[in-house]
Structure 1
């Protein structure tokens, strides 16, 4: 580890992987912070529950900070990195003269992981959506670089148009789609009220959760449709594919001027809209206007993608300035992103959900800072320990083995250079 500025010219494959995996690890930290607000049940607390656990202004400051700098931004950053990873995979496929069948299988097994994540653990999954939109990205791989940019812009604008339509037409996605699930609920002995708020998360019976998970899987897609997450994710995928094609990750020094522009404009555009969204989401600004959902969506569209691009650009500029220690610290957890993402759910659910220690609705929001930090530090340590002995994380190994149709070498002795799934 050193602070020596990077020389001009492309960086070698090993350092390039450290750069991307370090960013991926950083994104996982932000995602854990965002998910932790859900795990503790904060958005679903009644006024009485909130009054019982809140510690006052520290919770208010934490909520505002998270809404402004965390929520949505790190999912967008993770989506950007997915697109870059797709570009690298596509390049390898083309160099080998292969078809895209193996990558399609890779996406199919990612979909399997996402389904199992929702069914066995909790509804707050991103893997299923990533796999579905990954197939869309695969279909769009032939777009020109200019078309990728225009496609991304269109993907970001669609949620605004969708929100305008919902408000003007008085269309409620949940009211329209929830009745479809009602017969399933009745057969299982549940009602719509069971799925409101923290729902089955507070129940001590894991079997009840498993029975309800089919409905929760459906509800996940209802949420995707309501918020138009499909195009939000695809837009960042397209930008990531563009970045990967241009090779910005491979030679960040050469692209220094572009990175500085993206960082600057990402902050100039993103921060004011992030401030607006934070004011709306925290209720600090709550005007009585029918168009507020539209304004909230506009604030999201012009904050999350732009700040994610700013975060990535600032990180790359830090790399150029010789701050490789940051990336080397976060790289191990990034190399095991799938394993650590699922592990974060397992740990948090064990602590908070009813079939674990049942701490949901019992801790103030500010408490997630030390809790998240402790979990993440443990994951960084464990990931470093694991990768000193094995080629891949446990789930990365399984994913790769399923994709290739045979068990892959696991011991580090069989490896000649670091790899990422």
Structure 2
């Protein structure tokens, strides 16, 4: 009997891991696409500089495609999975009769990974924010299941209200907080001014770049506040917690009608609004009034809807026995922390001045090729590594720190990892 012909029912543990790990791996691919536009300097270029790269209509089309389908959506997907993982962790904690202290330790060391990521590599870290919002989620774990979705909606409405208040009050975070950077930059002997971080990233002076990361740690929180990322991430965490409590990941076939509605609404409503968000983000349309509120509204509607639609499509595929394509991404997902950090290291070496120095030199077509090449290499490495190891290197360190002792990394002879 083929998988497609098997009767509907709860999927077994192996398939459940393929679903969650596969979607997590897929999210890493999207994050790599999104981060590369920052590492490469593309995000900070003006229209003239982009045009000089010679990509023409291909670059403009890819820019629209990335802003519509990629930017923000895969961080939302990653955040959703964090919430589901939180629900699973709570189940294990309760089954063992343990308190939440171990999970809090887990979050503490995740925060250290995030701080190290910023101080050693670059500003665009998400781990520190996940750890901080994970503590908030831990405090909210007593919320009844019926309250989780309304709470998530409120979290996603906060950035819209924040943008409206800034429009009405004429308030902006950057003029208030950025003046504190100049004295710090002077003390650290780091160039600071117009042009964004690419002025620093172009330098071959590694020590100067490392000093600049002290400023980046401060600026990261400025960005969190300006974009109200705290509540955006928490909102997806809460939806993930709801999914975990309802057990959708265990038996997606039983939730097929709901999943189909999520896909329909996500694509029918989220996609056109995402196009509007993209047009605003690219500066192709600049409303004279309430532009900030319009952008925040488009972002807060399109990002969670499309992120959820992507997850629902994967769950439906798994429910119908068509999860084989997810197996391609599953090894990546099992080593998500290792691969996320490795992506940053590889991109820093490719683009920054102390490496190959290709910043501000590549059109978006090259971004696509580089992203696929890096991701393919990570898929191959992850599959090879997990054939003989229980965890990725970073996952092993994280787990060992959490439990306070070195964990067994290598698989016993004949033991196989679920891939």
Compute the displacement of 1:49 (Å).
2.8
Does the residue aligned with 1:263 lie in a helix, a strand or coil? helix
Compute the displacement of 1:90 (Å).
0.4
Encode CA deviations 1:67-113: one digit per residue, 9 max, x unaligned. 10000000000000000000000000001110011110100000011
- Relative to the length of structure 1, the TM-score reads 0.96
Check the 8 A contact 1:7/1:253 in 2, yes or no. no
Aligned to 2:145: 145
Change (3 A) 1:117 1:241: same
Aligned to 1:128: 128
Compute the displacement of 1:323 (Å).
1.3
- CA distance in structure 1 between the partners assigned to 2:413 and 2:138 by the alignment: 31
- CA distance in structure 1 between the partners assigned to 2:281 and 2:75 by the alignment: 18
**Mapped pair 1:83 → 2:83:** yes
Aligned to 1:233: 233
Compute the displacement of 1:6 (Å).
5.5
Aligned to 1:327: 326
**Mapped pair 1:389 → 2:383:** no
Aligned to 2:177: 177
Aligned to 2:313: 314
Compute the displacement of 1:46 (Å).
3.8
Change (3 A) 1:187 1:88: same
Change (3 A) 1:195 1:7: farther
Comparing 127-136 with 173-182, greater Cα deviation is found at 173-182
- CA distance in structure 1 between the partners assigned to 2:86 and 2:414 by the alignment: 23
- CA distance in structure 2 between the partners assigned to 1:414 and 1:141 by the alignment: 40
Encode CA deviations 1:194-249: one digit per residue, 9 max, x unaligned. 77242311111110011111111000100000000000000000000000000000
Check the 8 A contact 2:387/2:417 in 1, yes or no. no
Change (3 A) 1:142 1:27: same
Q: Which structure 1 segments of 5+ residues have no match?
A: none
Aligned to 1:196: 196
- CA distance in structure 2 between the partners assigned to 1:415 and 1:266 by the alignment: 44
Comparing 232-241 with 41-50, greater Cα deviation is found at 41-50
Does the residue aligned with 2:171 lie in a helix, a strand or coil? coil
- CA distance in structure 2 between the partners assigned to 1:365 and 1:145 by the alignment: 43
Compute the displacement of 1:415 (Å).
9.1
Check the 8 A contact 1:18/1:328 in 2, yes or no. yes
Check the 8 A contact 1:5/1:320 in 2, yes or no. no
- CA distance in structure 1 between the partners assigned to 2:320 and 2:8 by the alignment: 11
**Mapped pair 1:350 → 2:349:** yes
Aligned to 1:70: 70
**Mapped pair 1:265 → 2:265:** yes
Encode CA deviations 1:373-421: one digit per residue, 9 max, x unaligned. 000011001100000010000000010001000010111117967479x
**Mapped pair 1:374 → 2:386:** no
* Alpha-carbon RMSD: 1.6
- Relative to the length of structure 2, the TM-score reads 0.96
Check the 8 A contact 2:191/2:200 in 1, yes or no. no
Check the 8 A contact 2:190/2:208 in 1, yes or no. no
Encode CA deviations 1:145-183: one digit per residue, 9 max, x unaligned. 121111101100000000001111111101101123333
Aligned to 2:49: 49
Encode CA deviations 1:354-385: one digit per residue, 9 max, x unaligned. 11100000011221111100000110011000
Aligned length: 418
Check the 8 A contact 2:41/2:360 in 1, yes or no. yes
Compute the displacement of 1:282 (Å).
2.1
Change (3 A) 1:347 1:6: farther
Aligned to 1:209: 209
- CA distance in structure 1 between the partners assigned to 2:250 and 2:300 by the alignment: 28
Comparing 232-241 with 252-261, greater Cα deviation is found at 252-261
Compute the displacement of 1:5 (Å).
5.1
Change (3 A) 1:198 1:416: same
Check the 8 A contact 1:6/1:319 in 2, yes or no. no
Does the residue aligned with 2:257 lie in a helix, a strand or coil? helix
